[in-house]
Structure 1
Amino acid sequence: MKLLITGGKSAQALKLLKAFEGHDIILADYGETPAFTSPSYKFLGLGEVNESIAHNLLNICLDHQIDTVLPLHEFEILPMAKSTVLFEEFQIRILLPSVTEITQYFYPQDDIQPDMKWIVFKEGAVLYPAEATDNIKNLAQENQLNGVFYVPEGPDALTAILYTIR
């Protein structure tokens, strides 16, 4: 998998690197970006933020043969979810819930506690961490989750909160 993770200058994006070890990872961000690479990832500039976010990311994916996109910036989430079908026409997977269901995973950032675990899902399967509980695996499979979520596990029910950068 060749993966593009947006918000590449953030600590949140860097935390995700361990979930995708062994894959070809490109960290990308808007504005000025670092001009160095490491053995585990490359940096890529996305230019300035504008209203054609999905079009810009699609062009970058095609230019760099990227097959999976993980958008993290909050402002990218809805435009990218709405563009899923377009990206899929080019065999590019966007790791987000469907546009019809995505808003149910938005929660105020104040609800996210420092001890909450984040989990990566792809098409209802847990990609990371390997030791996810059966409850979490069932939540992912029932909802066919895609993306990165905080998953607070309580005694009554599970919920998933989309992992984003403001």
Structure 2
Amino acid sequence: MKILITGGNNAKALKLMKAFPTHFVLLADYGDVPGIVTENYAFSSLGPLSKDSIAHILLNFSITEGIDCIVPLHQYEVEPIAKSAVLFGEYGIQVLLPDASLIAGYLPTEQNTYQNFAVFVAGECVFASGKEIFVRTDEKLNGVFGYNIADDDLKLFTI
């Protein structure tokens, strides 16, 4: 599986790579990005930033690069990508975000400095950096969520 993580120039994106040890991870960001390619990951540029066409830029990039799953980390990408998840799905690209109708409840209200993060796919926690076991009944919970302790309200792990 080929996973696209945006915000590739940020340390949070690098931390997130350990959640996907058996997949190829493409770390991408807008503007200049180091040209590094390894067996398990690579860095790539998404081109110039245009906030008005984020979904178009990421869909086009994902199709061109053969992406199977996208994890948007920039906060300004979250809503446009969540609203376009059905379109991404039509191209076989899974969007790792909560449903667009629920997204507002998961957006952090201030700059987050979470110590840990958890990755949920279809309601199942597939990775937790703090080694906690999360049991969620919401089958639609998708995304990367930050937390300090397991009892915290989960908020999207964004930059």
Could you state the TM-score of these two structures normalised by the residue count of structure 1? Answer: 0.87
| Residue aligning to 1:144 | 140
Q: How does 1:39-118 map to 2 (within 5 A)?
A: 39-50=39-50, 51-110=52-111, 112-114=112-114, 116-118=115-117
Match of 2:53, as an amino acid?
S
CA shift at 1:137, angstroms? 1.7
| Residue aligning to 2:127 | 128
Match of 2:107, as an amino acid?
F
Distance 1:7 1:26, change over 3 A: same
| Residue aligning to 2:158 | 164
Aligned residue for 1:88, secondary structure, equals helix
Equivalent residues of 2:116, 2:128 under 8 A apart = no
CA shift at 1:31, angstroms? 0.6
Equivalent residues of 1:152, 1:160 under 8 A apart = no
Q: Output the CA distance in 2 between the equivalents of 1:48 and 1:117.
A: 31
Aligned residue for 1:18, secondary structure, equals helix
Q: Output the CA distance in 2 between the equivalents of 1:151 and 1:143.
A: 20
More helix by share: 1
| 5+ long unaligned stretches in structure 2 | none
CA shift at 1:37, angstroms? 1.8
CA deviations 1:116-157 (Å, max 9, x no partner) are 421011110111038432xx222xx32631111013447xx6
Equivalent residues, number: 157
Match of 1:162, as an amino acid?
L
Aligned residue for 2:118, secondary structure, equals strand
| 5+ long unaligned stretches in structure 1 | none
Equivalent residues of 2:124, 2:139 under 8 A apart = no
Q: Output the CA distance in 1 between the equivalents of 2:38 and 2:22.
A: 13
Q: 4+ residue runs of structure 1 moved beyond 2 angstroms? A: 107-110, 129-133, 141-144, 151-154
Match of 2:76, as an amino acid?
F
Aligned residue for 1:119, secondary structure, equals strand
| Residue aligning to 1:29 | 29
Larger Rg: 1
Q: Output the CA distance in 1 between the equivalents of 2:113 and 2:26.
A: 28
Q: Output the CA distance in 2 between the equivalents of 1:150 and 1:124.
A: 15
Aligned residue for 1:9, secondary structure, equals coil
CA shift at 1:44, angstroms? 1.0
Q: Alignment identity in percent? A: 41
Query: How much is the aligned-residue C-alpha RMSD, in angstroms?
Result: 1.8
Q: Output the CA distance in 2 between the equivalents of 1:76 and 1:102.
A: 12
